[in-house]
């Protein structure tokens, strides 16, 4: 296990560096991340490099047994670049350049910026390749923009489209430009679709894909240099969890492993479903464990600060990530900075630099995780349930949500949170991934459904899988045109239904919205409320598991189940307001697939299993501020206390336990 902090020696006097390194060592830290915003310190003027200060910082850290991840510093350009090469600054929609002075200012099609980025990357790689405690690199920082609307970006977009479609005839077909007479006769006529609420939906989707590709290309230029000069070092990037402006699968492709930045401590204490969900998405990008490169260690905020992590909360946040596959925990930041926009983004140490409560809790966490290191080695999360996580659908739903209030992540969250409450781990996968390792596959809001993916899902059900689809499933093809088929198209036989009509029920105050009564049958017995959307599902070979109460909806089903080949296809045609419905639905799917959780955690307690090398480790995390008792397998070893379990185990507020099952 690597445990440490994001460190900024350039912010502090040199005489403080030794104190910081000593305190890190005493806390059990063995890693720092450095230099992601230090371009001006390393290249104070064009072509003149000064690395001596960073050499000294690395040597100080090395004396205390602390290794380092260095960053390419291209997220913040020096002022001399903006002054000498103004075209490197991204252009806004109004035709003005971004004013230099924040971060993420650059245009990704600027040839000057790309060359300057490659030059600082190469200079750093060549200088630090033999530094004894440098073990890896982080590219840039939190890729994700800005979006630039300059003429160079427009020309690059046109070139990208020419390479993708080959001919204007094919582009016009794919975009459906016959509508409104928007046919293109030359590539130069293609504009940047600045308003996704009004412009051609297919053009908007390709513009989103192009922006993602620009970030991937920019990173790839750096990775190529790092691989050439420092083949012994790993290369990673700090992703942002559920951030969805980029296709993270593509961005992860060139990296050794994914890292991500986790800040779940905002607002009143609550169950951090999204932090768990994001961790699983991050693990799914490369189907391997990940690092936490930034994690909450104090109140966050730029202008105003948020709440302070409560006693025990820093530790349980770290354990939640390890439970989902983190092999490193790096806290942001070592010490709260006394200058700049992030003065109120607090660190392990406050402005005074003293090792107080948060420092002591991080040190305890480091001790605990180092103690688990041998047991964790070679383990990961191996679920039998997968959720298809599809960036094309995320973007297409945002461009045309279909029904009021529809968002991809809301549809996903309803199912994920029910699985969380059931104590069942989840993988997130691409729509094109092999489905055979999973007994249950969920496809929330899979709006964009190419035929090859539809055929894969059909075969999955036929071969014995359990599939759940829901509203707006399979509406669009890969170019964001509606399929000219009765829904659910190529999955009609597997799901055993036909959808000829559908409606939005609205979202807002009671005078603008409609709800329908839903009656659950059998295992889903109960009365529920349908809102936002209703697909008028006609069962063909499927059986009805939930039906509508309104007179005009009684011929249609809200939830269906269909036997197809060796498997089962489920379809949910509405949004149910009661979370208990989703708990019952997930229980039905798990039972149908023969999946049983090791423990059924009480409300507010999370269960996750890491396994490998002949070991199975059950993590239990109490996200509440009251003690919780969990029924667990008896006679097993709880590794943090080195005690044998009885039939129950009690977790203190924000308490954690790690039970070795095998």
Catalytic residue among 36, 43, 142, 606: 142
Q: Is 142 a catalytic residue?
A: yes
Other C-beta atoms closer than 10 Å to the C-beta of 646 total: 12
Beta-strand ranges (E) seen in 30-158 are 31-34, 67-71, 134-138
Beta bridge partners of 547: 519, 557
- Structural contact between residues 397 and 427, judged by C-beta atoms closer than 8 angstroms: no
Q: Could you confirm whether 46 is annotated as catalytic? A: no
Q: Which long-range contacts does 53-58 make (Cβ < 8 Å, 24+ apart)?
A: 53/9, 53/10, 54/9, 54/128, 55/131, 56/14, 56/17, 57/7, 57/9, 57/17, 58/34, 58/128, 58/131, 58/133, 58/134
Tell me what percent of the chain is helix, strand and coil, each rounded to the nearest 5: 35, 25, 40
65 SS3 class: coil
What are residue 564's DSSP bridge partners?
A: 567
CA distance 194 to 210: 13
User: Which of the following is catalytic: 43, 294, 313, 361?
Assistant: 294
Q: 125 and 230 in contact (C-beta within 8 Å)?
A: yes
User: Residue 638 in 3-state DSSP?
Assistant: strand
Cα-based distances in Å from 574 to 188, 409, 466: 43, 15, 19
The Cα angle at residue 589 between residues 585 and 591, in degrees rounded to 5: 115
Count, in order, helices (H) and strands (E) of the chain: 17, 27
**CA 308 to CA 356: how far, in whole Å?**
13
Asked if residue 353 lies in contact with residue 638, where contact means CB atoms within 8 angstroms, the answer is no
Instruction: Round to whole Å and give the CA distance between 174 and 462.
Output: 31
**Cβ partners under 8 Å of residue 228, min gap 6:** 125
Q: Are strands 259-262 and 238-239 parallel, antiparallel or unpaired?
A: parallel
Query: How many residues can be counted in the chain?
Result: 662
If residue 534 lies in a helix (H) or strand (E), which one and from where to where? strand 526-539
| Dihedral angle, C-alpha 217, 218, 223, 225, nearest 10 ° | 110
Torsion of the alpha carbons at 283, 285, 290 and 296, rounded to the nearest 10: -80
Nearest to 393 by CA among 384, 385, 402: 402
CA distance 580 to 546: 14
- Cβ neighbourhood burial of 556 (10 Å; 0-12, 13-18, 19+): buried
Alpha carbon separation from 421 to 128, 183, 528 (Å, rounded): 47, 51, 19
Query: Distance (Å, rounded) from C-alpha 439 to C-alpha 461?
Result: 10
Residue 289 in contact with residue 321, Cβ under 8 Å? no
Confirm if 457 and 423 have CB atoms less than 8 A apart: no
Give catalytic residue positions.
142, 294
């Amino acid at each position: 296990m690597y445990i440490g902090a994001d460190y900024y020696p350039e912010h502090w006097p040199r005489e403080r560096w030794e104190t910081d390194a000593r305190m890190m060592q005493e806390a059990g830290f063995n890693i720092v991340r450095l230099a992601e915003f230090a371009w001006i310190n390393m290249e104070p003027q064009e072509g003149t490099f000064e690395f001596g200060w960073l050499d000294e910082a690395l040597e100080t850290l090395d004396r205390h047994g602390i290794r380092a991840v260095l960053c390419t510093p291209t997220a913040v350009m020096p002022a001399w670049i903006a002054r000498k090469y103004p075209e490197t600054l991204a252009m806004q929609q109004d035709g003005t350049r971004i004013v230099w002075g924040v971060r993420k200012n650059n245009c990704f099609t600027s040839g000057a910026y790309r060359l300057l980025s490659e030059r600082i990357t190469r200079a750093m790689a060549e200088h630090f390749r033999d530094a004894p405690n440098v073990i890896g690199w982080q590219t840039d920082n939190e890729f994700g923009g800005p979006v630039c609307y300059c003429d160079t970006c427009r020309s690059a977009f046109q070139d990208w489209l020419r390479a993708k479609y080959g001919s204007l005839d094919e582009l016009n077909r794919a975009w459906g430009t016959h509508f409104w007479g928007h046919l293109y006769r030359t590539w130069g006529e293609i504009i940047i679709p600045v308003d996704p609420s009004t412009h051609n939906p297919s053009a908007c989707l390709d513009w989103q894909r192009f922006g993602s590709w620009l970030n991937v290309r920019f990173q790839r230029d750096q990775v190529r240099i790092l691989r050439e000069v420092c083949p012994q070092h790993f290369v990673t990037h700090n992703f942002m969890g559920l951030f969805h402006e980029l296709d993270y699968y593509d961005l992860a492709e060139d990296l050794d492993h994914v890292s991500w930045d986790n800040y779940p401590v905002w607002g009143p204490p609550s169950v951090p479903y999204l932090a768990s969900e994001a961790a699983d998405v991050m693990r799914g990008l490369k189907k391997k464990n990940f690092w936490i490169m930034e994690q909450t260690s104090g109140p966050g905020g730029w202008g105003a600060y948020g709440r302070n992590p409560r006693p025990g909360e820093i530790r349980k946040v770290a354990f939640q990530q390890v439970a989902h596959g983190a092999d490193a925990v790096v806290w942001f930041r070592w010490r709260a900075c006394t200058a700049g926009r992030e003065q109120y983004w607090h660190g392990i140490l406050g402005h005074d630099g003293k090792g107080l409560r948060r420092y002591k809790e991080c040190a305890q966490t480091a001790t605990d995780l180092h103690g688990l290191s041998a047991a964790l080695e070679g383990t990961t999360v191996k679920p039998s349930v997968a959720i298809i996580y599809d960036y094309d659908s995320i973007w297409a739903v945002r461009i045309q949500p279909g029904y009021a209030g529809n968002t991809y992540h809301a549809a996903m969250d309803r199912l994920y949170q029910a699985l969380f409450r059931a104590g069942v781990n989840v993988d997130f996968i691409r729509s094109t991934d092999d489905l055979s390792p999973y007994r249950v596959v969920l496809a929330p809001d899979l709006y964009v459904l190419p035929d090859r993916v539809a055929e894969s899902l059909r075969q999955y059900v036929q071969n014995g899988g359990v599939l759940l689809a829901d509203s707006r499933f399979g509406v669009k093809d890969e170019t964001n045109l509606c399929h000219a088929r009765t829904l659910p198209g190529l999955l009609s036989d597997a799901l055993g239904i036909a959808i000829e009509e559908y409606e939005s029920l609205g979202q807002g105050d009671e005078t603008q919205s409609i709800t329908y009564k839903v009656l659950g049958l059998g295992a889903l017995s109960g009365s529920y409320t349908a809102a936002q959307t209703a697909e008028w599902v006609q069962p063909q070979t499927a059986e009805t598991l939930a039906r509508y109460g309104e007179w005009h909806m009684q011929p249609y089903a809200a939830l269906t189940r269909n036997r197809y080949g060796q498997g089962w296809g489920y379809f949910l045609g509405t949004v149910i307001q009661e979370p208990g419905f989703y708990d019952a639905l997930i229980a039905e799917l798990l039972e149908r697939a023969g999946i049983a959780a090791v423990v059924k955690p009480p409300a507010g307690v999370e269960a996750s299993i890491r396994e490998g090398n002949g070991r199975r480790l059950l993590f239990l995390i109490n996200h509440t501020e009251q003690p919780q008792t969990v029924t667990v397998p008896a006679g097993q070893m709880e590794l943090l206390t080195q005690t044998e379990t009885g039939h129950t185990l009690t977790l203190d507020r924000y308490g954690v336990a790690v039970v070795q099952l095998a």
